[in-house]
Structure 1
Amino acid sequence: MKLSLVAFLGQAAAQYVPGQNPVNCGSSYFRPGAEWPLQSRLGGAQSGKTVRLCQNNYGKSHYYATLFNTDTNLPVYSAVKIRRNKYASTYPRPSSNWHYMCNGLCGSSTPSSSSSFYGNLASVGSSNFGNCDRYQPQDNDYLGNNAAIGIDRGHLIPNALMNQNEDASKATFTLTNVAPQYSAFNQQAWNQLECMVRKFMEEEINNQDVWIFVGTYGKVATMNGSDSSKNNVDIPEFYWHAFCYTGIGL
């Protein structure tokens, strides 16, 4: 049995473009020989400087990978190789972890477009935000936008997918794995797609490996454009979700 699914959902088509494997964590999340689509080849609204993040809690193993655009403050995509066991216990959603930031992007030096970082996600106190918010969003960039324009923090790799491992669950709560999603879209169509994926993994292919890419494309607006105290963050026009199951034992 083999199953591949690609879904594009617009909040307003994108094209897969082969690229190169990143260093460090790429081979952990993609089939041998598979390539990452490089953001720089997409052009248009997606053009900008990208870095490759191996997402992990500080001092722990990495759990998934993100190609992140430091110009738009958006993940181009996050990806993971994962299995779900319908008999396994799950951990509760963390109450407040949005202060987790990628230490690899802290500092004043501009990251190279070929850079690859271990995320080393750590709680960063407000006194250090000035060292960390130049090349990644911080919680303040999203605060107030739900009430003002109906925007949620939309996970790419969702907490609910990773919640059978406590550290992996916490590692999804970084804004390098998040993009602005309109609340109605996030809580309805997108949530239904995420639930469908988890149900298939647990009920149809329980405890088997799958590969999942989740990404953004295009731009409908810029969040915080008139607020100089916050970073600008593009609001994507589309979200896409790619799912691959190659078959039991393969």
Structure 2
Amino acid sequence: MNMLMQLVFALLIICFLPLMSATVVQDFNHVERCKDSLYMGTPPRGIVDTNLKKICQRYADKPRYVTLYDPHKRIPVYSAYTFKKTEGDRRVDYPWMYEPQLAEVDGNGNMLPFPTGYLHMKFEDSQAVLDDYSDVVLYERGHLNPDQHQSTPHDRAATYTLTNVVPEIREFNIGPWREYEERIRVRLNNFCRGTAYIVTGVTTRGNMIRRNNQDRVAIPEDVWSAYCCTDYDRNAPHDVRIRFPSHAALAKNAKESNSVHEMPVQELEIFLKNNMDVDQNLQLFYDNCISPSPLPLYLQHTI
């Protein structure tokens, strides 16, 4: 093989490396069914930072949801998932996991439980590890995709990866934010007839959890969430119906003044344009989650 052929072959390998990775991808559509976690298969648009990693969160050889991850701040920017109807009970017996694909391109792409012994430094460099949270009193590991919004054991287990959690003030995590997650669970259980798509994320201001005199994990300033469900009960009470097909929420990750404010998605997007590294084209849901209008009766026979 001459030198030119070797160079071409090497370039081809480099070009296809992102496609070979089963988990960290250039585009969520590169992994089978990964886009199913996104409304119209489309991720939020307008996020500027090109160093963020797109993770197709795989567990037991199946894509479960997607996360946009910041390996420098070692927290997710957002997780996007489909809501599964559930009774809302919480499970805490799942092992915490990490994402091997953030550090190396090999394996089958599944998240893995943290080992009881040594974890290579290359994984600590690319993501948060259990030691980052072990001696922190003020903060808890707060899920962006919460287990009580999932139904099967595998879908629930997949939420217990540190690439899906952020440091949340304990009083906020077990108080206003958990109450909001439960409120949304009940609302979507009762009034969403089709698939509900949820995107939950954070903003940061530079505060960090430190370990061994090093900045390790960014502490969110705000936590936000938005859902989209175009097939909903149009006979629902008015105060529920006005929160469809989409609605959003925003709260301070704080010990006090941390109540959750619900709002239209477009209002949340205005806030995020001023508080995140995004451009003015930011849009959380494709075409603003416009609900298709039912045809008038006199036109239905024409279909």
Q: TM-score, normalised by structure 2?
A: 0.61
Decide which of 173, 189, 198 is 1:212's aligned counterpart.
198
Match of residue 222 from structure 1: 208
Which of the pair is proportionally richer in helix? 2
Match of residue 36 from structure 2: 28
Q: Name the SS of the counterpart of 2:175 in structure 1.
A: helix
Contact 1:101 1:121 in 2 (8 A): yes
Decide which of 160, 170, 190 is 2:157's aligned counterpart.
170
What is the Cα deviation at residue 236 of structure 1? 0.9
What is the Cα deviation at residue 29 of structure 1? 1.5
Distance 2:82 2:169 in 1: 27
Q: Name the SS of the counterpart of 1:83 in structure 2.
A: coil
Contact 2:34 2:63 in 1 (8 A): no
Decide which of 163, 176, 185 is 1:189's aligned counterpart.
176
Match of residue 95 from structure 1: 93
Match of residue 123 from structure 1: 113
Match of residue 237 from structure 1: 221
Distance 2:181 2:85 in 1: 13
Contact 1:218 1:238 in 2 (8 A): yes
CA 1:230–1:173 in 2, change beyond 3 Å: closer, same or farther?
farther
Match of residue 144 from structure 2: 156
Question: Alpha carbon RMSD of aligned pairs, Å?
Answer: 2.7
Q: How many residues align?
A: 205
What is the Cα deviation at residue 237 of structure 1? 0.6
Give unpaired runs (5+ residues) of structure 2: 1-25, 234-291, 293-303
Match of residue 84 from structure 1: 85
Contact 1:141 1:230 in 2 (8 A): no
Is 1:37 matched with 2:21?
Answer: no
Match of residue 144 from structure 1: 135
Q: TM-score, normalised by structure 1?
A: 0.73
What is the Cα deviation at residue 65 of structure 1? 0.3
Match of residue 132 from structure 1: 123
CA 1:237–1:129 in 2, change beyond 3 Å: closer, same or farther?
same
What is the Cα deviation at residue 182 of structure 1? 0.4
Distance 1:189 1:83 in 2: 22
Distance 2:102 2:70 in 1: 11
CA 1:127–1:35 in 2, change beyond 3 Å: closer, same or farther?
closer
What is the Cα deviation at residue 118 of structure 1? 7.6
Percent identity (aligned): 23
Aligned positions of 1:47-126 closer than 5 A: 49-57=51-59, 59-84=60-85, 93-98=91-96, 100-107=97-104, 119-125=109-115, 126=117
Q: Over alpha carbons, which structure has the higher Rg?
A: 2
Distance 1:172 1:33 in 2: 20
CA 1:65–1:173 in 2, change beyond 3 Å: closer, same or farther?
same
CA 1:197–1:92 in 2, change beyond 3 Å: closer, same or farther?
closer
Distance 1:246 1:96 in 2: 33
Letter of the structure 2 residue corresponding to residue 160 of structure 1: Q
Q: Name the SS of the counterpart of 1:191 in structure 2.
A: helix
Distance 2:34 2:177 in 1: 26
What is the Cα deviation at residue 230 of structure 1? 6.6
Structure 1 runs, 4 residues or longer, greater than 4 Å off:
none
Contact 2:94 2:157 in 1 (8 A): no
Distance 2:41 2:178 in 1: 31
